[in-house]
């Protein structure tokens, strides 16, 4: 299936900058066809999928490592700490630091 190559690439490279043109070439379709196919199959846009992967990985790193919030953001593909915090807050309803604190309190 065309989309499986795209999903495989995204799952292995979500920390990198994603170019829809590159993904469309992998699937041998136009960018607009890819976006429609992707949304129909996953019920989210490519950018929402990448964000979900990044934030999920960030949650794991925040709870399982001693990396700073900025380092976590960098590891999951956000090169601007403020942008990482905004994206994380929008997805989780709290800042990365608050998320880490909540997990540590719940773990005790």
State in words which class domain 49-107 has: mainly alpha
Measured CA to CA, the distance from residue 28 to residue 42 in angstroms comes to 18
Measured between alpha carbons, how far is residue 87 from residues 9, 65, 95, 108 in Å? 22, 20, 9, 28
Q: Report the mean per-residue pLDDT for the chain.
A: 94
Please state the domain extents for the chain: 2-43, 49-107
Question: 10 Å Cβ neighbour count for 34?
Answer: 22
The model's pTM is 0.90
Q: What pLDDT is recorded for position 103?
A: 84
| Distance in Å from the first CA to the final CA of the chain | 46
Location of structure tokens 């846009």: 45
Q: What is the DSSP letter of 66?
A: -
| Backbone phi and psi for residue 95, each to the nearest 5 degrees, phi listed first | -75, 160
In this prediction, residues 47-67 reach a mean pLDDT of: 96
Per-residue confidence at 1, pLDDT binned at 50, 70, 90?
low
């Amino acid at each position: 299936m065309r989309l499986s190559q795209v999903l495989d690439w995204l799952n292995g490279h979500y920390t990198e900058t994603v170019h829809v043109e590159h993904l469309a070439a992998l699937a041998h379709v136009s960018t607009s066809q890819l976006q429609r196919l992707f949304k129909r199959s996953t019920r989210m846009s490519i950018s929402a999928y990448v964000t979900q992967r990044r934030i999920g990985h960030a949650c794991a790193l925040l709870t399982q490592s001693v990396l700073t919030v900025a380092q976590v953001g960098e590891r999951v593909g956000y090169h601007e700490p403020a942008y990482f915090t905004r994206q994380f807050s929008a997805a989780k309803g709290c800042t990365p630091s608050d998320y880490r604190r909540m997990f540590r309190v719940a773990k005790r």
